[in-house]
Amino acid sequence: MKFGIVNTKEQQYFEKLGARIKQLREEKDLDQKTFAFDCEIGRTQLYMIENGKTNPRLLTLIKIAKGLELSLHELLKVS
C-alpha cells in the first residue's frame, strides 16, 4: 500500500494524474523547482505527485491547476 492509496485502480489514477501534471508543466517549459515555488508547494511534494506516489490534497491540486492555467476540472480529466 502506498501513501493512503487503497487499491490498484486508485494507484493507477494517481500515476496517470501525476504524468499529466508533469507533461503539462514540461509543455510550458517550467522546471520542477520553479513550478513548485510558483504554486507555493514543496518541490519534493510536486515530485511525489508527478510520480504517482501520493494522494494530493484538494488545495494542492487547486494550486497546481492555477499554475498550469487550467480549471481544476480540466486538470483532473485523466484518460
Average confidence score pLDDT of the chain: 92
Burial label for 1, CB within 10 Å (0-12, 13-18, 19+), is exposed
Q: Which domains does the chain have, with CATH numbers?
A: 8-70 (1.10.260.40)
Q: 3-state DSSP call for residue 75?
A: helix
What is the reported pLDDT for 3? 55
How do residues 4-37 score in pLDDT, each as one tens digit? 556 888 889 999 999 999 999 999 999 999 999 9
**Are the CB atoms for 21 and 64 separated by under 8 Å?**
yes
Q: What is the pLDDT of residue 5?
A: 54
Other C-beta atoms lying within 10 Å of the C-beta of residue 7: 9
Residues of the chain with pLDDT > 90, as a percent, come to 82
